[in-house]
Amino acid sequence: MNIENLSCNKSFGGWHKQYSHRSETLNCDMRFAIYLPPQASGNQKVPVLYWLSGLTCTDENFMQKAGAQRAAAELGIAIVAPDTSPRGDNVADDEAYDLGKGAGFYVNATEAPWNRHYRMYDYIVNELPELIEATFPVSQQRAISGHSMGGHGALMIALRNPERYCSVSAFSPISNPVNCPWGQKAFSAYLGTDVQRWREYDASVLMRDAEQTVPALVDQGEADNFLAEQLKPEALDAAAKAREYPLELRRHEGYDHSYYFIASFIEEHLKFHADYLSR
C-alpha cells in the first residue's frame, strides 16, 4: 500500500502527520491524519484511537480543534482521523450538506450511484486499520470514537465488531438514525427502501440486541440544537437499560454541538479509552 505524506508537524513531543493513499475499497484517493505520541518514536507499539467526524467535516477538523494531542501524548495513544466520505471528481455527490461528499454515514451503500464509492463501513473497519498497522508503530489494540454522524459511526461499528475494539465513545451521536431526518435521508439514498437493512446501522437497535459488549461512554450537550429532532439519546439510553449494556450516558447543561463541547471533555474520553486499551 503506497501512501504519500502531505504534512508533518511536531506537537507535544509527538507528530501530527497527514497522508493520502489510494483506497481500493472506496475506489478513489483518500486522506487521513494521524497523531503519533512520543512513545511511538522507538520500537514500542502504541494503541490507536480511531476518530470519526461528523457531517461536512474532513480529517482536519478534529485534529485542529479538539485539543486532543496533549492528553494523547501523555497517555501514549495514537489518534487516526479519516475523512468522512469518498472524495474526487468522479464520486457521486448531492447539493445538500447531509448527503454525498462529507456525509458518508459510515455505511456500505447498495444503491446506485452511491455503491460505486460509498463503502465507508468496510474502509473504517478493515482497509484503513490494515494500512495503519502495516505502516506505523501501532498495535492491534483499538478504540473508536466520534462526533454526531461520526458518533453514530463509532457506536455502530463497535457494536457490530466487539472483538475489534476495547472501548467506544461518542459526542452528540446520531443515536437512532432510522427515526431521524438525517438518518432517513441518508439511509434511503445509500441503502434503499428496505428499513430492515437500515436497522443494521442503527446503534440503538444494535445495542438492544447485542450479544457481546464494548464499554461505552457518550456525552451529550443539553443546549444542542439537534438534540430532539436528530440525535435522540433517549433511544440509546432505553436500549442500554433494556440490554443492561455498559453505557455511561452523560448530559451536560449549556453545551452545544460544537467543537467547544468536544474540547471540554476530550481528555476524559482519552483517559476512558486508555484504561481499557491498557488491559
Q: Which residues are tagged catalytic?
A: 148, 224, 257
Do the Cβ atoms of 156 and 175 come closer than 8 Å?
no
Do the Cβ atoms of 267 and 276 come closer than 8 Å?
no
Strands 216-221 vs 168-171: parallel, antiparallel or unpaired: parallel
Q: Give dist(CA 192, CA 249) in Å, integer.
A: 31
- The whole-angstrom distance between residue 60's C-alpha and the CA centroid of its chain comes to 13
Q: Give the helix/strand (H/E) hosting 138.
A: strand 138-147
Nearest to 136 by CA among 31, 35, 25: 35
Q: Which residues contact 1 (CB under 8 A, 6 or more apart)?
A: 21, 130, 131, 134, 135
Q: Give dist(CA 42, CA 278) in Å, integer.
A: 19
Q: Give dist(CA 109, CA 85) in Å, integer.
A: 12
